Structure 1
């Protein structure tokens, strides 16, 4: 029998589902409270504002994504570039057009609130930096193992891959199609990161 979530954790879970499906602006505190079946006073006991609530929801999301990357990237039985491809394939299966809720919360919040909320922008920047570093570490490993040329610049390449993936997600939303994500996978792995002889 699983442990019952605390009121705070329950609010964060509901908030995560609402932020992912409707975005920051369209998600109201009252809506979260109604879905969670929690009184208003409980919300403000745990969170001083909607913005601070969104920060905590985003941290919950980011923690789950860090666990995903650690699991996939930590499988040392698989070659580094193959691990990286598996990672992006898993992300696409979860956040692509056919996912339960398509789109990435990092990208969505970046587009929706980064210009208006220095607090959330700071959280987003930290997540992008950590995400990019984890990709760059796998690329460094690929260079060390001879999968990629010694001249490869892992940090810059990781930034390019991350930006390309996030851009493909945005276009996927506009087109209601996984084609941009499939195109990203093809050019990233069958062209750019193809094993060099």
Structure 2
């Protein structure tokens, strides 16, 4: 959607600039001056759009999940693929983005969950709303895959979606520790087993 005013351009520009900085350094590790200098915006403008750094963090997460969920919706509606293939495309994209070096594309849920959940209730709730949205979409896709016959699961779809999301969050954290793709490869294998897909 095209942005129609200078105000929304400035606000969005601040958010867009912050993604890479926060993705690289975390929320507490990035100061407002660094964000504003990178965005080319004076401090007064920041407080015009965001009442505090916490409010900024909440807005950053909401903006991030709006984009993430729109991309996930498009991926899970790809007409040329089965539900099984759509879901596996999603997990492979997760591996590619979380295992890469582009901080702008890193999942803020992975990066910020442990850091901000104890610091800011507003940011925790923004994280919760975003992750609930992801799990709900995965649950619907899994249910559709079972209905079309491309997936076979032992639990009900929502539980399966939650279990898989937790597996991938854990894999993302372990990949940071070991600095290899091994946790993601293990997560892919676990995902295929949970969804009743043959290994390849």
- TM-score by shorter chain over 0.5: yes
2:36 touches 2:42 (CA, 8 Å); kept in 1? Answer: yes
Instruction: Name the residue aligned to 1:100.
Output: 102
1:143 touches 1:149 (CA, 8 Å); kept in 2? Answer: yes
Q: Report the alpha carbon displacement of residue 185 of structure 1 after superposing the two structures with TM.
A: 0.6
Unpaired stretches in structure 1, ≥5 consecutive residues: none
Q: Report the alpha carbon displacement of residue 146 of structure 1 after superposing the two structures with TM.
A: 2.1
Q: What is the TM-score normalised by the length of structure 1?
A: 0.90
Unpaired stretches in structure 2, ≥5 consecutive residues: none
Which residue of 172, 191, 194 corresponds with 1:192?
Answer: 194
Please report the RMSD computed on the Cα atoms of aligned residues, expressed in angstroms: 2.0
Q: How does 1:28-47 map to 2 (within 5 A)?
A: 28-47=31-50
Q: Report the alpha carbon displacement of residue 63 of structure 1 after superposing the two structures with TM.
A: 1.5
Q: What is the TM-score normalised by the length of structure 2?
A: 0.89
Q: Give CA-to-partner distance per residue, 1:32-81, whole Å, 9 cap, x none.
A: 11111211111111111001111111122111211221111011331111
Q: Give CA-to-partner distance per residue, 1:80-130, whole Å, 9 cap, x none.
A: 11110011111211221x241274211221110101211011111111111
Structure 1 residues 61 and 92: alpha-carbon distance in aligned structure 2, compared to 1, 3 A threshold: same
Q: Report the alpha carbon displacement of residue 150 of structure 1 after superposing the two structures with TM.
A: 7.2
Instruction: Name the residue aligned to 1:52.
Output: 55
1:68 pairs with 2:71:
yes
3-state SS of the aligned residue for 2:79?
coil
